[in-house]
């Protein structure tokens, strides 16, 4: 059965389409409105509808409304000017004109005209003689201060007190009659004043830097006692969860809600209260008076509150000068605020890479982490290089590792000690070591105690007594299919035709648990490392290389110990029987994915010996070729059954590199191709994992180590569904199977169909949760065991024990269930603890792999750039937009910091260095000033809509 969610909201547009699956571009006039709507709140849309009803009643009683007047003003502007009307978008905007699209195109445009006229009138009224530009900027700035005292580089928002509110209200009324002239004048001067505005913004930033030192450190709240936390959790007054800090906007942090349907938001570094990314924290709901609620603003009269509400509308929803009805203001603007009150476990390593800055007349230096989610750190000068004080400029580009030792409650800065000097920033090896250290990856040499656990006699031979306990499969045609560069070969395949027309298919996995005895030093080290970490240029192995590359690796023409799963299976993929057991194999050839793909694509070809790696002479090449073809045929049927049964696969672009063999520097990069040979291996690995999961859960219902994939978070799915509806994309997110069918059916036939699918795949991946290891005895309900993407009730990892410790535990469980291994001496709690540790290490490994790829791509661009590529816009934010660079599978956020006003509501264009950006059917070119470097710094840009 396909996993399902509650039926989604009826979409009139979708019903009108009558099942049409071909992609259709959104209407030209409101295309931009639809783009913006992706981060607008449906709750606020309902609020605006309620407001519209209230306004309608007021218009009947009081005559023409401001909206109608603004629309009349707009219609008086010539067509050429009308399309160039500037529109300012606040960073906190929560309103989309598309929410009013049913009322006609002009109604959505009129809202922009209302806000526009008031914005320009306000700006003119602020330009009074005798008031310096610096003072005006200081009055308007309402920026947030980071934990280390820096000003956040977010959008500047106005700050209104009671007196300011009345003063600005009178100024706007006074200038309302001249707003149309202001609009026209502003349009005509906009492009001419571009450089002036850039300079003005630079002065403003310099002024910000001068004032940041005046920000006094805020006293952070002391932590609760463990006893109070325990009582609060039991009473439901406190919530525990793992902290996630947004790497692109480090003021925002989240923990999952208790029901795991949505996230709890922590606003700012004060709310995080010294906790770092990944820490297990306990949060408390703050008193209501500390919530963000405009109804609680300090106003002395109802009129003040109405005026303040008008400002808030201006700041939060691009809508000003509205007749605010205070009776329904609190609901949409109340926001619950939480704060960290206790750190249960410091999961973050507290080790960070960064640079040192000399501070005159201070007994310490300032350490600035590369990761902005970590506060700046005061480091004693005694830890710095000996000549740092006299030659501190020489260390400007040097990377260091610093370990945080303390986070005082009365300081914006942490305290720490320098651990190591890495080398020059931007170089691969220093940067790689910094990444591994930050994510607590153990890349040290294995200790003597660990190496003592390995076989002493090398070359090693299988003992005769062990051979007698196992099924001997050395005469069978068994082979491996792996990447060409792989050295840890932990799985092999076999396929033997049977007289009745069926096949005997085997999956043979390296028996690592034979060498890694439970409780020994080797086992403890592997348990702690939990996974191998794959970097672009090397692998940090979980096990010593003697095991992972020699004794356990299923190298060709060598006898190896394995765990086998053998099925009798029909050509259509129906399983007739199943056998598990320990075995001995002898691989006849090491095929790469390229070799297997060549065999699949040329079924009639006779391959010569020189076209393949060395082959065991006991097995003919044509026999191996036919086995690959039979496996491919069965795998296609298995795959079709999986997807017809409701499975989902979200393939994202993966960047790979070609490296110089001597220097290991990147010489080129390309998108890794996922082909039929990859799918062949994947199908049988999935089949083996599913079969093993059922076996160990049946035998050990309280101890089985399984892997579950929770469904995506409902709130994010609803938001994505709403976005796709607004963009005219017919997609069904109600279940994994429905989503997979939608992605296959909405490609379209235009030149951007493939790019559109890649963007949609990335968008659909965002609501997805991570798959997790767990102990079956911990979760009480079996429905929670389910794997959402695979749409199977039970799943585990069995097929990669060389690189995953979880698989070793599964092997031990399987051996015990077959009475061919020692009895288990672990408890449910121990399996649960190890499962959680494996989850953490797997997440860290994945992030390290991503950072390694980003590092090599950055070095490649620096050495070989600039590069040309098509890209497609994935998301439009208030101050930036995200793009997917299609040739390289790289996601980038493009910031627009100098020019904050956007022109027109039609399709637009501009140029970003070498990128040609597209959003579905819309083309964007972003023009960047020539002196800017694409080195990770924010791009200053001007968006011009044509």
Structure tokens at 595: 């070799």
| Block residue for tokens 């003072």 | 135
Q: How many CB atoms are closer than 10 A to CB 799?
A: 24
For residue 581, give the DSSP letter. Answer: E
Q: What is the DSSP string of 255-278?
A: EE-TTSSSEEEEESHHHHTT--TT
Residues contributing to the annotated binding site for Mg(2+): 482, 491
Other CB atoms within 10 A of residue 177 CB: 9
Q: Is 219 exposed, middle or buried (0-12, 13-18, 19+ CB in 10 A)?
A: exposed
Residue 68 main-chain phi, psi, to 5 deg: -65, -40
- The answer to whether residues 242 and 279 touch, using CB atoms and an 8 Å cutoff, is yes
Angle at 8 between CA 7 and CA 10, to 5 degrees: 115
d(CA 888, CA 919) in angstroms, rounded, equals 17
Angular region, 426: left φ>0, alpha ψ -120 to 50, beta rest = left
Where are any strands of DSSP class E within 452-589? 471-472, 478-482, 491-497, 503-510, 533-534, 539-540, 559-569, 575-586
- Crossing angle between the packed helical segments 66-75 and 105-126, to the nearest 10 degrees: 90
Q: Which parts are annotated binding residues? A: 482, 491
Token couple for 777: 């005895």
Query: What are the distances in angstroms from CA 90 to CA 101, 422, 468, 755, 810?
Result: 21, 41, 74, 30, 52
Residues 116 and 86: beta-carbon distance below 8 Å: yes
**Residue 3 · residue 735 · CB < 8 Å:** yes
DSSP-derived secondary structure letter, 288: G
* Exposed / middle / buried, residue 31 (Cβ in 10 Å: 0-12, 13-18, 19+): buried
Please tell me the distance from the alpha carbon of residue 569 to that of residue 503, in angstroms, as a whole number.
5
Q: State CA 479 to chain mean position distance.
A: 37
Tokens at 13, concatenated: 């547009």
List, in order, residues 6 or more apart from 317 with CB less than 8 Å away. Answer: 44, 48, 90, 93, 94, 95
**Residue 452, Cβ density class (10 Å: 0-12 exposed, 13-18 middle, ≥19 buried):** exposed
Q: Output the CA–CA distances (angstroms, integers) from residue 937 to 247, 393, 867, in the order listed.
A: 15, 21, 17
Quickly count helices (H) and strands (E) in the chain: 27, 33
């Amino acid at each position: 059965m396909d996993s399902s969610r509650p039926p989604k909201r009826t979409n009139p547009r979708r019903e009108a389409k009558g099942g049409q699956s071909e992609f259709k571009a959104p209407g030209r006039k409101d295309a931009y409105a639809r783009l913006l709507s992706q981060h607008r709140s449906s709750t606020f849309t309902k609020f605006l509808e309620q407001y519209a009803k209230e306004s309608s009643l007021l218009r009947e009683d009081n005559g023409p409304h401001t909206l109608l007047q603004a629309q009349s003003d707009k219609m008086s502007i010539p067509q050429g000017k009308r399309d160039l009307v500037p529109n300012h978008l606040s960073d906190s905007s929560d309103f989309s004109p598309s929410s009013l699209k049913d009322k006609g195109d002009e109604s959505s445009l009129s809202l922009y005209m209302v806000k526009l006229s008031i914005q320009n009138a306000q700006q003119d009224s602020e330009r009074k003689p005798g008031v310096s530009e610096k003072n005006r900027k200081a009055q308007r700035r309402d920026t947030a201060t980071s934990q280390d005292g820096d000003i956040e580089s977010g959008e500047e928002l106005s700050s209104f007190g009671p007196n300011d509110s009345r003063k600005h209200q009178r100024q706007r009324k006074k200038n309302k009659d001249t707003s149309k002239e202001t609009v026209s004048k502003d349009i005509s001067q906009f492009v001419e004043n571009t450089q002036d505005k850039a300079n003005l913004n630079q002065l403003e930033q310099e002024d910000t830097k001068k004032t940041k030192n005046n920000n006094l450190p805020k006293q952070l709240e002391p932590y609760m006692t463990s006893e109070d936390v325990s009582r609060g959790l039991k009473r439901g007054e406190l919530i525990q969860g793992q902290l996630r800090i947004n790497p692109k906007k480090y003021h925002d942090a989240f923990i999952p809600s208790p029901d795991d349907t949505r996230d709890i938001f922590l606003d700012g570094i004060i709310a995080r209260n010294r906790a770092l990314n990944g820490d297990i924290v306990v949060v408390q709901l703050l008193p209501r008076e500390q919530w963000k609620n405009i109804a609680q603003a300090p106003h002395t009269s109802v009129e003040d509150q109405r005026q303040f509400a008008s400002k808030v509308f201006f700041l939060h929803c691009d809508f000003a000068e509205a007749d605010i009805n205070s009776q329904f203001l609190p609901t949409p603007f109340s926001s619950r605020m939480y704060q960290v009150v206790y750190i249960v476990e410091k999961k973050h390593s507290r080790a960070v890479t960064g640079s040192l800055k000399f501070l005159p007349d201070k007994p310490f230096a300032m350490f600035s982490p590369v990761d902005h989610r970590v506060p700046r750190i005061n480091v004693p000068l005694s830890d710095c290089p000996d000549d740092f004080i006299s030659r501190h400029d020489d260390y400007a580009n040097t990377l260091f590792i610093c370990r945080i030792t303390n986070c005082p409650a009365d300081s914006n800065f942490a305290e720490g000690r320098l651990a190591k000097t890495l080398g020059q920033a931007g170089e691969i090896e220093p940067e790689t070591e910094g990444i591994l250290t930050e994510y607590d990856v153990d890349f040290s040499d294995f200790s003597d105690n660990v190496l003592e656990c390995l076989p002493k006699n090398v070359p090693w031979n299988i003992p005769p007594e062990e051979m007698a306990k196992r099924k001997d499969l050395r005469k069978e045609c068994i082979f491996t299919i792996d990447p060409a560069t792989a050295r840890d070969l932990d799985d092999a395949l076999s396929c033997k035709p049977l007289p009745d027309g069926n096949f005997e298919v085997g999956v043979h996995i390296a028996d690592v648990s034979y060498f890694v005895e439970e409780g020994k030093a080797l086992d403890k080290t592997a348990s702690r490392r939990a996974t191998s970490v794959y970097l672009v240029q090397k692998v940090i192995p979980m096990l010593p290389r003697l095991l992972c590359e020699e004794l356990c690796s299923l190298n060709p023409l060598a006898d190896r110990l394995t765990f086998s799963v053998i099925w009798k299976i029909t050509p259509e993929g129906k399983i007739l029987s199943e056998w598990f057991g320990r075995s001995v194999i002898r691989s006849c050839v090491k095929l790469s994915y390229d070799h297997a793909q060549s065999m699949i694509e040329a079924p009639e070809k006779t391959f010569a010996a020189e076209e393949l790696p060395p082959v065991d002479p006991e097995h003919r090449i044509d026999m191996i070729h036919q086995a690959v073809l039979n496996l491919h045929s069965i795998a296609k049927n298995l795959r079709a059954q999986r997807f017809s049964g409701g499975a989902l696969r979200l393939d994202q672009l993966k960047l790979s590199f070609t490296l110089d063999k001597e220097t290991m520097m990147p010489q080129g990069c390309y998108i890794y191709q996922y082909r039929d040979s990859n799918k062949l291996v994947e199908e049988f690995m999935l089949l083996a994992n599913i079969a093993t999961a059922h076996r160990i859960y049946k035998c050990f219902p309280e101890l089985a180590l399984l892997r579950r994939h929770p469904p995506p978070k409902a709130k994010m799915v609803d938001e994505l569904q709403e976005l796709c509806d607004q963009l005219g994309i017919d997609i069904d997110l109600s279940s994994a199977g429905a989503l997979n069918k939608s992605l296959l059916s909405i490609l379209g036939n235009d030149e951007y169909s493939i790019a559109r699918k890649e963007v949609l795949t990335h968008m659909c991946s965002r609501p997805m949760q991570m798959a997790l290891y767990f102990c079956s005895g911990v979760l009480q309900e079996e429905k929670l065991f389910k794997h959402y993407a695979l749409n199977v009730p039970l799943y585990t990892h069995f097929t990669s024990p060389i690189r995953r410790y979880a698989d070793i535990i599964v092997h031990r469980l399987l051996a015990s269930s077959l009475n061919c291994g020692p009895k288990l001496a672990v408890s449910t709690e121990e399996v649960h603890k190890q499962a959680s540790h494996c989850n953490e290490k797997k997440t860290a490994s994945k992030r390290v792999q991503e950072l390694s790829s980003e590092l090599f791509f950055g070095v490649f661009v620096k050495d070989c750039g600039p590069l040309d590529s098509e890209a497609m816009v994935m998301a439009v934010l208030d101050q930036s937009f995200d793009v997917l660079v299609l040739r390289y599978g790289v996601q980038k956020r493009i910031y627009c910091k100098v020019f904050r006003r956007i022109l027109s509501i039609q399709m637009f264009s501009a140029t970003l260095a070498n990128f040609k950006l597209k959003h579905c059917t819309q083309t964007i070119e972003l023009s960047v000033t020539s002196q800017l470097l694409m080195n990770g710094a924010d791009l200053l840009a001007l968006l011009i809509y044509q």
